[in-house]
Structure formats: C-alpha cells, structure tokens
Amino acid sequence: MKPVLVFISVCLLAIAAAGAFTLGQQKWTPVPPGGPDSSPDYSWEKSDSGCLRPTDQTYRARLDALGALLFGAAPSEITGCVTTVYLENKYSNNSPYNIQNHAGLDLRAKIGTPVYSPVSGTVIWQELNPSKETSTLTIETSDRAYNVVFIHCSVHTKAIRDPVRKGELICRTGDVGAAAAHLHIEVKPVGKDAPNLKGMSGGRGVCLKSSFTNGWDETTQAYTRLTKPGCSLADVMANTVDPTILTSGASTPSSTDRPQGPASASGTRARQEALVAPLKNQEANLGCGWIVSAPTIGEGNVFSSDLEDSLILMNIEGKDIRLTLKSSTGTPAKVGDTLRRTFAAPGIVVTAIFKVSEVCLPDNEECEVTRFKVVFDVYKGGAHQRFTGTAMTGC
C-alpha cells in the first residue's frame, strides 16, 4: 500500500466523477462562512461533486481564466475546478493534523493531465521523488516578481535553470504527496518566504500550527522538545498572493503595476483597483509618530501611526482600518538605510519599504524628525495596490 504522509490531507480530495459536466449544470449549495471550504474575503458555493466557486462573479471569472491558462480549456467537473480555496482554514481544528491556512489553490485533474505554464520565466526549483512523496516545480517569472509553485505532479518536463514560455507544457498532474490527483498552485512574491522555494512550510502549501525544537525547559531543568508557535493567516498573506494574480493578461504583471485588478474570463487586463484613499481622521497621530502622504492618492495623510505602533491607521476601501504591526526589520540611522515593515488586519496585508532620505544633523537641536521615501503594497483578497509616498517620523 502506498505510504501517505500526515500532511497529504492538506489538499481536498479530487473526486473521480464518472462523466464530465460543465460547472454551470451542477447543483450548488452555499458554503457556511468561517468554516471548511470558506475563505476570509469571498463567499463560496459547493457542487454535488465537490467543486467550489465564489459567488463574486468577477473573482469567478479570474478563477476560470487561471484554469484555462493551466489546462488549456475552461474548468469542468473533471479538470480545473477548485477543490481547496486560497486561505482556507479547513484543517485548523482537524486533529491530529498540525496544519492550517491553505497557501494556494487546489485544482482537480486526473493523473497525467497536461499542465501549461501561466507565466514566462525560469525554473529555480525542481524536485520529484515519489518514494518520499515530494513533487515540486517552481518558476521565477521573467520580471522576477513572483515564484510560482506547482505541487503533486507525476511528471516534470522542465529542470532547474530551464527557460519557460507562457503556455508551454511544464508537468503532468499526479498524486505525489496527496491522497488523490490534483494540482496545487501557489504564488509568492520574490523575496518572501525566502529560504523556501517549494511552498509554505517545507512544501506542504499550508501553515504549521506549531513547530518543535530541542531547548532548555526551566520547569524540568533539562533539554527537551519544546513547542514553538507556528505561522498564521497573516503569515500566509504576507508571504503569498492569490494565484489569480497570474490572469492579468500579460505573461506576468510588470514590476510597476503588479498585481492587477480583476481580469475578465478571456484573460484581458482590467484596471488596477484603487484600494487606498486619504485618511478620514487626519488628526490621528499628529503628535509624535509616523505620517505618510502620497500625492497620487490624494491630499492629506494616507497612513499614520504613533511611536508605540499601538494606533496604526490606513484608509482602505473607504474606511480607516486599524492595522497591527507584524514585522519590522532594518535600522534607519543614516541616509539610504532601509526599514521594511509588514502590517495586517483581517483579510488585509500591507507591506512598506521606507528608505531614509533625510536625518537630523548632530548639531541641529531643532530637528526632531527623520524623513523617508516609501513604497507601499496593499493586498486585500485578490486585489492589490502599489503606491509611493513620503514619510516622516518623530515629534
């Protein structure tokens, strides 16, 4: 009997249906929000055969477009329908499985179904070892914007360093590391989850709820196996993007406008969505703290925070959203230094790169602020907006 690792249940089983029907011909039932088969930003329906589709027509068109890019035809009950959604938290309470938060999309396909690349780029990771239940192919897009990860294929037609053209055959679907044949696709911005070219959590394509290490236990006064907190929904959102971002219409989104807003079913590029607006509360954090202005967004501050990062605000889709600081790296001591920060709220991830443009001189006692040039990336569901601005912090 074929050995199956614990984490193979990460991806929903692909049902081998007897006959193919179009997705529109099936009976669909609403999926309860917050539970299995749901995601934070979209409402879903499930068919009798186990296919999932969003009620949002624009997002459904993007999923259909992605399926067509990958399999060369519109999704059906047999090939290309979604069986596990992006950000699904189905497994968080599924003991004994130590996994949560799906980092990509699962698409149904029989063993041996051809998979075509939705992007142009270069293979940067390739691993296929059925005896160890591992199968991963990772393509870095030609603009070096994204790493696109394909998991569970039975055959790879590309090797590391091979160039790839959009529409070129890259693998054939399989059940390597899975209980049933399907394709897991995961998209990570280059530089995110950097040590791992496979998929979140060592190729599983999900978060681990906890991890373990050997360390000193003060209670027992001995070295023992200690539990460390695992990653969360915010971690998945900070390190991956919705795979439908690849349906922007070009081979990959350009470095200046990625990701794009919703695409039509034909894959044509849609106008980028404007998520961010000037803060409604322009008086917040006007003492000591951070403020950011962006003329391309509008007049006034678009972001503010106190120095303790306890009140962080950004207007997203017309509301002042309170964000939480998730990570901060870098020391902005001199001109040219970089500070990278990640913020999050339910269903939202905001990343910012602050580059110091002006610091106080040692003999200038009246100077109390440091100034920056800043690039923001705001993600909400499958939508994204990038903008630049100027920032200052101090009193």
Number of neighbouring beta carbons within 10 Å of residue 215: 12
Q: What average pLDDT does range 154-160 have in this prediction?
A: 93
Give every CB contact of residue 131 below 8 A, 6+ residues apart in sequence: none
pLDDT in tens, 363-379: 777 777 899 999 898 87
| Residue bearing the bigger pLDDT, 259 or 395 | 395
- Which domains are delineated in the chain? 6-247 (2.70.70.10), 276-394 (2.40.128)
331 vs 323: CA distance, rounded Å: 21
> In the structure, what pLDDT confidence band is assigned to residue 51 with cuts at 50, 70 and 90?
very high
Q: CB–CB of 189/148 below 8 Å?
A: no
Q: What average pLDDT does range 267-283 have in this prediction?
A: 68
C-alpha distances in angstroms, 361 versus 257, 307, 358?
Answer: 37, 21, 9
Percentage of residues in the chain with pLDDT exceeding 70?
73
Give every CB contact of residue 14 below 8 A, 6+ residues apart in sequence: 50, 83, 106, 108, 109, 180, 181, 182
Q: What average pLDDT does range 303-324 have in this prediction?
A: 92
CA dihedral 305→308→311→314, nearest 10 degrees, is 30
The helix (H) or strand (E) run that includes residue 235 is helix 233-239
State the DSSP code for 194.
T
Q: What average pLDDT does range 333-354 have in this prediction?
A: 85
DSSP string of 17-40, one letter each residue: -SS--BGGGS-EEEPPTTSTT--S
Question: Is the full-model pTM beyond 0.75?
Answer: no
